[in-house]
Structure 1
Amino acid sequence: MKRISSIVLAMLAVSCGSRTPYDAQGTFEATEVVVSSEATGRILYFNVEEGMPVTAGAVVGEIDSIQLHLQRKQLSAQLSALTGSRPDIEAQAASLREQIATQQTECNRVKNLLRDGAATQKQLDDIEAQIRVLESQLTATLSTLGKNTASINDNAAALEAQIAALDDRIAKCRIQSPVAGTVLVKYAETGELASVGKPLMKIADLDHIYLRAYFTSDQLGRFGLGDRVRVVADFGGDERYDYEGRIMWISSESEFTPKTIQTKDSRANLVYAVKIAVKNDGRLKIGLAGDVLL
């Protein structure tokens, strides 16, 4: 009788151990960013290693940009020569304005003499005609100088735009991390030739990690966005750690159950993906298995 009881208890223990105690299963993921080259040239230095933390905006490498610097120097010289040829409108028009002022003074003097009968009408008409000629010359000169200046300004603006474009290309020769995170993979080394679009490294923010789990349709009504759930990280064997998770995304479309996932209801073929944000204490890794308890 005692032997039979022992067998029954052992069978119950095995039966209880085989039951699935969680509501969903998934794997931990993180937002990964592949940093690619934005320039073509030889990599002068690339100071990152896999597992190394980087900060957002940190310069970790540089691509040869000497040809771009030489082009910029050439354009800067052209711009300097062009702006130096810009006419001094006021200086060139000053002589005509002075002549007009002199003739205006003479015209006023002749008018006074004409009232006293000491000058003739022809003298006044000649001076007024000369003033009109000088004013026409001034207008034409200002128009010509204005057009020349506008043309020079347009050409200078075009050169400045080319210089700005070169500055942007030179800036892209610096290899920077767009986000803060940890280097997962390093694809290039110092001395290699980089080209636009070539992957250089992969970065992930391991401080903000999430579990992608799959739930059946009848489970969706038990939680919503922002709800807190219990996440259990499975490190293998008996090593399991509990974390507080927050529902951050629920898929709007169903999909077939991934082969690596075991749902609570094995009869359900269609499931919904759910992202659960978890604060990483340093132990969680990408690809680690995790369970969810609602």
Structure 2
Amino acid sequence: MKRILFFALAAAAAACGRETDFDATGTFEATEITVSAEASGRILRFDAEEGDRLEAGRPVGEIDTVQLWLQRRQLERQRASVRSGRPDVEKQLAALREQIAKQQTERRRVASLLEDGAATTKQLDDIDAQLKILQGQLEAQLSTLENSASAIDENASALDLQIAQIDDRLRKCRIASPVTGTVLAKYAEAGEVVAAGRPLMKVADLETLYLRAYFTSEQLAGLRLGDEVVVTADFGGDARFDYPGRITWIASESEFTPKTIQTRDSRANLVYAVKIAVRNDGRLKIGLYGEVRLAGE
């Protein structure tokens, strides 16, 4: 239904030389984003051109990554070397556990003989003492091995973090637009050496433009976010087209009337800026003049 209304208003539009009453005027603008380099180095590839439509997140260029890639390989080797020194706790304790198991078996045998009067209490006490020594050795060795393994794991984790940092820097070597939009300007070319923060291109979503118009405080009382209005784009001469618009933002503070803006009450000194979203059919351009008619007028 909205699409039908849009094209109906657009088709009904070409007002041939007639003056149209309006409540406010302004110019069309878009949300422009300057895409800057996030890494320093030579641009190896930059395929975007002015007028191209880019998809959000899709790489269109790349900054040299050789040094970062070599750093990552070096960190991977260091991590492998560190992890190779991690002790196998179970294997290193296996012999001691076996000794304890044998002593426990011997204790059960001596205890049985003691019940039959074929062994002495001293023999049982000696085995208990030996078991206590072996248990102490097991606990001490287990603690040492666990501390060693924990320290190695921490060192490996630190290298993992460094590798993650390199991966993040590698991702930032890709040139991509954070939003889906059209390239308005291009500031660099392949082969140039850039520093982090240098602007590479300017992108804007031209599917929806915003008319920034100005209303008096008297008019403001009847405006609400989401209100539907009629926006007339003036292409000069008799080329005028109507579009449905929706109020998306109303300034919270007044300002003096811009010299280039007309309002219905030319005597008003203070006005409020209002942004009106308009679906672009391909004709609307940034900076184009537009007029606003409020509903019911």
Same fold by TM-score greater than 0.5: yes
1:242 corresponding residue in structure 2? 242
- After TM superposition, what 4+ stretches of structure 1 lie above 4 angstroms from structure 2? 17-20
Q: Following TM superposition, by how much is the alpha carbon of 1:186 offset from its aligned partner in structure 2, in angstroms?
A: 0.3
Please give the residue correspondences for 1:1-294 in structure 2 after superposition, counting only pairs within 5 Å: 21-294=21-294
**Residues of 1 paired with 2:127 and 2:209: CA distance?**
90
> Structure 1 residue 107: deviation in Å?
1.4
Report the secondary structure of 2:43's partner residue.
Answer: strand
**Identity fraction in percent:** 65
Q: How much does 1:183 deviate?
A: 0.2
**Superposed CA offset, 1:15-35 (max 9, x none):** xx9987221110000111111
Look at both structures and tell me which one has the larger radius of gyration over its CA atoms: 1
Q: In structure 2, how many angstroms separate the alpha carbons of the residues matched to 1:156 and 1:243?
A: 61
TM-superposed CA distance for 1:111, in Å, is 1.8
TM-score for both structures, normalised by structure 2: 0.90
AA of the residue aligned to 1:144: T
Structure 1 residue runs without a partner (length 5+): 1-16
Cα RMSD after superposing both structures? 1.5
Q: Distance in 2 between matches of 1:199 and 1:84?
A: 45
CA contact (8 A) 1:20 1:264 kept: no
SS at 1:127 equivalent: helix
CA deviation string 1:43-72 (max 9, x = no partner): 001001111111111110000011111111
Cα distance in 2 for residues equivalent to 1:19 and 1:145? 90
Tell me, in whole angstroms, the C-alpha distance in 2 between the residues paired with 1:85 and 1:18: 86
Query: Deviation digits for residues 77-108 of structure 1, max 9, x if unmatched?
Result: 11111111111111111101111111111112
Separation in structure 1 between the aligned mates of residue 284 and residue 59 of structure 2, nearest angstrom: 27
Q: Alignment length, in residue pairs?
A: 278
Deviation larger for 220-229 or 155-164 = 220-229
1:222 is paired with a residue whose SS is coil
- 1:121 and 1:223 mapped to 2: Cα distance? 101
> Structure 2 vs 1, CA of residues 20 and 279 (structure 1 numbering), >3 Å: closer, same or farther?
closer
Distance 1:210 1:119 in 2: 101
In the superposition, the TM-score normalised over structure 1's length comes to 0.91
SS in 1 for 2:286: coil
Cα deviation, 1:144-176, whole Å, max 9, x if unaligned, reads: 001001111111111101111110110110111
Confirm or deny: 8 A CA contact 1:187 1:201 kept in the other structure: yes
Deviation at 1:121, TM superposition (A): 2.1
Give the deviation of 1:198 after TM superposition: 0.9
* Bigger shift: residues 120-129 or 136-145: 120-129
Can you list the C-alpha shifts for 1:236-267, whole angstroms capped at 9, x where unaligned? 12211111111111111100000111111111
